[in-house]
């Protein structure tokens, strides 16, 4: 592919068309910004794109509600490529695991909706993967919500530590003697450190399995 300069885009009316487009995702914005021509040896790909555009335009008239639902889902996707790149080598944080789970949850909603619509549209060369294994990994309890936290379901040890911490916190609230409260607070700080350590182990395990 080669890019068309600004002046030629203006002369052939392409600039007007591109300026009229409003991509729903950061990936679409990037493709629009770097729009280029198809060389002759990729004519088949161009014909496929034209076919898919034709089917989409037809579908917008006949299945407007279904297309609007897909567009709404697409508009919620964010660019998490830096998170995916980091995951190849490093352990992700809770925030990054949330970003990933959120995108996977959206994907899990988008794919079946698209496949249902595609029974009529019959698009060519559009293969989607719902990444169900990754979804299950980040949502072991099957909640179906995008929020992420290090669940006790990942580790029996973590569950035990959290139960111990809860028990000590109850004792702290009911303790009247300051000296005993101080002792319990010190014990809680040690257990909290154990909890943080085990949570770090879980994050490392999840990041490894996601690679």
Whole-number pLDDT of residue 8: 67
What confidence score (pLDDT) does residue 16 get?
82
Residues 103-135: pLDDT tens digits?
999 999 999 999 999 998 999 999 899 899 999
pTM (two decimals) = 0.84
Which residues of the chain carry a pLDDT beneath 50?
A: none
Predicted local confidence at residue 159, as pLDDT:
97
- Residue partners of 40: CB distance under 8 A and separation at least 6: none
Instruction: Supply the Cα-derived Rg of the chain in whole angstroms.
Output: 25
Q: 77-101 burial by CB neighbour count: b if 16+ within 10 A, else e?
A: beebeebbeebeeebbeeebbbbbb
């Amino acid at each position: 592919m080669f890019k068309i300069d600004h002046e030629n885009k203006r002369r052939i009316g392409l600039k007007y068309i591109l300026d009229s487009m409003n991509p729903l995702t950061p990936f679409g914005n990037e493709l629009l910004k770097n729009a280029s021509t198809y060389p002759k040896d990729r004519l088949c790909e161009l014909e496929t794109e034209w076919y898919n555009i034709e089917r989409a335009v037809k579908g917008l008239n006949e299945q407007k509600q279904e297309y609007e639902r897909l567009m709404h889902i697409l508009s919620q996707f964010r660019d998490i490529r830096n998170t995916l790149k980091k995951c190849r080598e490093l352990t992700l944080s809770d925030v990054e695991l949330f970003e990933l789970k959120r995108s996977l949850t959206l994907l899990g909603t988008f794919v079946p909706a698209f496949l249902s619509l595609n029974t009529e549209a019959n698009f060519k060369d559009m293969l989607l993967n719902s990444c169900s294994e990754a979804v299950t990994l980040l949502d072991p309890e099957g909640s179906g919500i995008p929020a992420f936290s290090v669940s006790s379901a990942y580790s029996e040890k973590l569950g035990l530590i959290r139960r111990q911490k809860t028990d000590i916190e109850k004792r702290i609230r009911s303790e009247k003697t300051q000296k005993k409260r101080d002792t319990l607070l010190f014990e809680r700080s040690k257990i909290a450190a154990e909890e943080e350590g085990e949570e770090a182990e879980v994050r490392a395990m999840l990041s490894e399995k996601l690679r």
